[in-house]
Each structure stands twice: as structure tokens, then as C-alpha cells.
Chain A
Amino acid sequence: MEENSQSREQVPAPAHPENGNSNLEQGQRHANKGQDSLAARLTAGDREAAAELVDIYHERIYRFMRRLGHGRQLSEDLTQETFLRAWRHIGQLRDGKALEAWLYRIAGNVSKLYWRSHKVKELTGMESIAVPYTGEAGHDIIGRQEQLGRLQGAVDRLSWKLRQAIVLHYMQHLSIAEAAKAAGIRQGTFKSRLNRALNTLRRYVS
């Protein structure tokens, strides 16, 4: 199931800082080149490039919205809104290499504006946790399910900024540099935010 869901995210996940082998670096260079040319076509007003942008990133942005705690329907709406704003403000995209971070930044702002204007916090239902059968003994499965449930509850309780940091780096697998760009902050600030988030989660879960 994990394999299936990953294969549907059409762009290979960016190299994680820890995975610095040459294949990944080469893949990353190709991805950057692709992003560069896509960004150039977008800023030139190419509608086909806009459609390509949707094909490549809609899955990621949708999942980002879901992981930020929005419901299914709302995540679809907010994904739609993210692309609408991206096209409307295509002139702000100056650095082609930062295309993905730029899109995540717009998505983050769309989500943040939604939370601010809707004070009642919408939480992802705990029923969405479904632990696949892994051949473990029954008590192990239950123990793990409880642990995952507690962790998701803890992520839900994080402040928006801390949650964004966790989602960008550990769930969307952006590198520290990309995630910091996506959050619109310096790398140092992002790292300290990430540490605070991890400490909070650790307290809740253990």
C-alpha cells in the first residue's frame, strides 16, 4: 500500500539530506533542470506548462493539505486555490530551482489563511489511521496502532508553524533548505522550529 501511494506522487521525492549518494544527486540535478525549464515556460505564459505543473504537483499539494489537518473536500478546494493563486502570481517566480518551494509556500499561505478565518479547528479524524497487517503478533499491532494514534493526535495539537515544519520535512520529505524556503524562513530558524516540534511530539508520545 505504501508503494502504491508513493508511486502516485509523480515526481520523485527530493533527496533527503541524509541520502547524499551520487544517483540521488544526479536525479536531483535533472529535477532542478526540469523545474528550471518549467518555471521559464510558466513565466512566459505557456498554458501547457500550467497543465504540466498541475500534473506534477497536485498530488503532493493535496497530501500536504491533508497532512496539515484539512478534510478531504476542503483539501481539494485548497489545492485548487493554491494553483489559482500560483497562476495569478506567476510573476513572483524568479528562481526556477525554487519552483517546488514556491508552490509549497503558496499552499502554506492558503492553509494558514483558512485556519485564521475559520477559528474552529478542524481535525483529521482518528479513523483515518488504519494499520496494515505486517505479520506482527496481535498485541504488537495494537501497541503500534496506539502509538501511531497518539502521535497523530500530538501532531494535530501542534501550533500551525510547528506542524508545518514537521509536515514539510518529515512527511513531504523536503530537505531542510527547501522546507525553510517553503516556510519563508531561514534555515537556522527552521531547524530550531523542527527541534521544538520534535521535542513537543516526544513529550506527548512518551
Chain B
Amino acid sequence: MEEEKLKELLSEVAEQMAEPARPGLAEDIKHQIPSRLVSHAGGMGSLNIIIDLRVNRLVAAAIIMVAMILFADLFGRQHPPGDNIFQDGMMLVEYVLGSNVGRGGLSALRSRYERLMERGEEVVYYGDKADLGNGMAVLLHWKTSDGKYRVVFGDLSERTVSPETLIRLQAHMLQEKKAK
């Protein structure tokens, strides 16, 4: 097939592969703009380099753990504003463990719960009972300033949901428990 023809077809496929975004999507995203945009140059970049170099997962884990210990020491075992180090650590745990969220992920989540408690947030932790690895199971949730809820799921993914969605998720968890 001629190259021009192929490019023309690709352009046509591109239009058909993606419909316009849902109208409310931009507003949903804007609700999550942090109250303070922190100019933080570390974290993601270093993690990307490790991932891009395709370093062995265990080596990557060791590097990040050492880095986290150093940071923790540097900040007197307190986390800097924005939980950036924590977020990067969680990304690494996700990367290292793949979909099998293990004890590492859970203990990191537990520390996060404790920090949110200390900050006086309305936070609920289901980690001891929840279904690890299940993307529909709620492990942790807390109320955000705009009345919505930030939820961490069993596969360690995170989303902001409305109170109604949270109730539906909790109902789903109860049904799953009953079924077992």
C-alpha cells in the first residue's frame, strides 16, 4: 500500500477511534486542582528514568527505598507538603508489585491513613478487611474540601468520586462479602 494512502487512512481511523470528551470532564479535573501548586522538581522524573532504563524491578525498588529513607531522614521523618514522596513511593510499589498489591502497598497505605488522621481529615480505612488487588474494593477514603471523596482502591489506583458513587461502591463491597 502506498504511504500516502496509509497516512490518509490513519487520519480517518484517528477520528473514529476517539469521540469528543464528556462535557463535564474538564470541570471534574478542575475540581482537583490543588490549593497550592508546589514547584517540585524531583520524584516522577527519577522514577521515569528508572522505568525507562528498564532496570530490574528489585533494583528499582531498592533504589527508591534507599532514596525514601534518605528523604525521611532529611525531613526529620516528616513528609513535605503535598505528599509527593509518598505518591512516588506508591507509584513504585505499584510498578514493583504489578497488579499483586502486597504487604508493602498495604503498610504504605496504613501510614498514609495515619497521616491523614493526624491532619484531622475525615478518613476511613478498610485495609485490614478489604480485598487487595480488587480494583472495585475501597481500601481508604477521605472527604475533600469540595464535598467529594478521594478513594484508594484495592489495586492502589485513586479516584475522586461523588458521595453517591462512594455509597454504591460500599454497597458493592458488602454484596461481595455476603456472596463469599
- Footprint of B on A, CB under 8 Å? 1-2, 4-5, 8, 42-43, 45-47, 50-51, 54-55, 58-59, 62-63, 66-67, 72, 76-77, 79-81, 83-85, 87-92, 106, 109, 112-113, 116-119, 124, 128-131, 147-148, 151-152, 155, 166-167, 170-172, 184, 198, 201-202, 205-206
Which of A62, A66, A167: most chain B CB closer than 10 A?
A62
A-B contact pairs, 22 of them (CB 8 A): A5-B19, A5-B20, A45-B36, A45-B37, A47-B37, A50-B37, A51-B30, A58-B21, A62-B25, A66-B17, A66-B18, A76-B21, A76-B25, A80-B29, A83-B29, A87-B34, A88-B34, A109-B51, A148-B12, A171-B17, A184-B52, A205-B1
CB A104 to nearest CB in B, in angstroms, measures 13
Which of B21, B38, B40, B98: most chain A CB closer than 10 A?
B21
Q: Is the CB of B99 within 8 A of A88?
A: no
Mark B27-56 against chain A: 1 for CB-CB distance below 8 A, else 0: 011101111111111111100100110000
Our pick among B18, B32, B98 for the contact of A63 (Cβ within 8 Å) is: B18
Q: Is the CB of B1 within 8 A of A206?
A: yes
A50 CA to B40 CA, complexed, in Å: 15
Q: For the complex, is B22 an interface residue (Cβ under 8 Å from A)?
A: yes
Q: Is the CB of A91 within 8 A of B39?
A: yes
A205 CA to B2 CA, complexed, in Å: 11
17 further A-B contacts with Cβ under 8 Å, apart from A131-B16, A170-B11, are A5-B20, A8-B21, A45-B38, A45-B39, A50-B30, A54-B29, A59-B21, A80-B32, A83-B32, A87-B33, A117-B98, A128-B17, A129-B16, A167-B14, A170-B10, A170-B14, A202-B6
Q: Is the CB of A63 within 8 A of B21?
A: yes
A108 CA to B8 CA, complexed, in Å: 24
Which residues of chain A come closer than 8 Å to B99, judged between CB atoms? Answer: 117-119
Q: For the complex, is B94 an interface residue (Cβ under 8 Å from A)?
A: yes
Mark B131-163 against chain A: 1 for CB-CB distance below 8 A, else 0: 000000000000000000000000101111000
Q: Is the CB of B19 within 8 A of A66?
A: yes
Q: For the complex, is B82 an interface residue (Cβ under 8 Å from A)?
A: yes
- Footprint of A on B, CB under 8 Å? 1, 3, 6-7, 9-22, 25-26, 28-30, 32-45, 48, 51-52, 82, 84, 87, 91, 94-95, 98-99, 155, 157-160
Which residues of chain A come closer than 8 Å to B17, judged between CB atoms? Answer: 66-67, 124, 128, 152, 171
Which residues of chain B come closer than 8 Å to A130, judged between CB atoms? Answer: 16
Which residues of chain B come closer than 8 Å to A42, judged between CB atoms? Answer: 37
Q: Is the CB of A166 within 8 A of B43?
A: no
Using known A-B contacts A58-B29, A117-B98, determine if residue A8 contacts B91 with beta carbons closer than 8 Å: no
CB B160 to nearest CB in A, in angstroms, measures 8
CB A79 to nearest CB in B, in angstroms, measures 7
Which residues of chain A come closer than 8 Å to B9, judged between CB atoms? Answer: 147-148, 151, 205
Q: Is the CB of B95 within 8 A of A113?
A: yes
Q: Is the CB of A79 within 8 A of B21?
A: yes
A205 CA to B15 CA, complexed, in Å: 18
CB B150 to nearest CB in A, in angstroms, measures 11
CB A154 to nearest CB in B, in angstroms, measures 10
